[in-house]
Amino acid sequence: MEEKKTIAVWFSCGAASAVAAKKTIELYGDTHNVIIVNNPVINEHKDNVRFLKDVEKWLGKEIVFAKNPKFPNCDIVEVFDKTKYISGVKGAPCTRILKKEARYNFEYNNHIDYHVLGFTSDEVERSNKFIKYERENTIPILINLNISKNDCFDILRVANIKIPEIYSLGFPNANCIGCVKSQSPTYWNLVRETFPDVFEQRAKQSRRIGARLVKRKGKRIFLDELSPLDKGGKIKSWECGIFCDTK
């Protein structure tokens, strides 16, 4: 009997990747070995852990963890201090080290035939970019099913799964609190308002390293130079899975 091929679903504690995992199991669970993999990061909201456990029950599958053995604490603050780099034209080292390199390590130790990520029908360009530059053997399951990010929220509501608390605070995704890929004054002032300790930590570390994380009127400034009254446009949804946009 031919051995089943393996599909790895990369679950990021976000609504889209949760639904992607569910749909993958529904469509391929009988014919493939489906594994759900998470890259843990301790800087995410604590309610993400609750959400992960709820999703595990919903899927009927244990979620396994993929870590970078060089950074077992899975802490972005540690990554920034050791690399002396936070964010810029090279992207963010937290994603590269705690997500991308952790995936490579997992792939090295576990044979994977196909990958599934939480790219929704709103993100065709990002999905195509990942397939072109990262892994051709990716199944864009939510795009194939024409499922949007809002559809994912609706699916979870019907399943009686409370979405991660971070969404209810006005953040567009379940990334780390104080995501360094954002340059938005609106975003950083929301962090300042809801998690002042994280804002202060990012401000001090970015000043020490020399990273101007926020853009005000087209000019990059340090977080400690940002006025609480500064505003930008709508907060961009920076997804932080195993693929990091560099724009």
* 3-class state of residue 216 by DSSP: strand
Question: Which residues touch 228 (CB under 8 Å, ≥6 apart)?
Answer: 189, 192
pLDDT at res. 237: 58
Instruction: HSE, CB side, 13 Å, CA atoms: give it for residue 56.
Output: 12
The pLDDT assigned to 231 comes to 85
28, 136 Cβ separation under 8 angstroms: no
CA pair distance 99, 101, nearest whole angstrom: 6
Q: What does the block give as tokens for 89?
A: 């034209």
For residue 229, which phi and psi values (nearest 5 degrees)? -90, -10
Please, which pLDDT band fits residue 90 given cuts at 50, 70 and 90? confident
pLDDT category, 235, cuts 50, 70, 90?
confident
Q: How far apart are CA 112 and CA 64, in angstroms?
A: 14
Asked if 83 contacts 107 with a C-beta cutoff of 8 angstroms, the reply is no
Q: What is the DSSP string of 3-30?
A: PPPEEEEEE-SSHHHHHHHHHHHHHHTT
Domains in the chain, please, with CATH? Answer: 6-167 (3.40.50.620)
Each residue's pLDDT tens digit, 147-162: 999 999 999 999 999 9
What's the CA gap between 114 and 12, in Å, rounded?
A: 17
Q: Which two tokens stand for residue 122?
A: 């709103």
Distance CA 145, CA 7 (A): 17
Q: What is the per-residue DSSP string for 42-59?
A: TTB-THHHHHHHHHHHHH
Check if the beta carbon of residue 171 is closer than 8 Å to that of residue 20. Answer: no
Alpha-carbon Rg for the chain, nearest whole angstrom, is 18
| Amino acid occupying residue 221 | I
What is the average pLDDT across 127-143?
94
> Is 212 within 8 Å of 222 (Cβ atoms)?
yes
Q: What is the pLDDT of residue 245?
A: 44
**Residues 182/49, Cβ–Cβ less than 8 Å:** no
* pLDDT tier at 247, thresholds 50, 70, 90: very low
For 132, counting Cβ atoms within 10 Å of its Cβ (0-12 exposed, 13-18 middle, 19+ buried), the class is: exposed
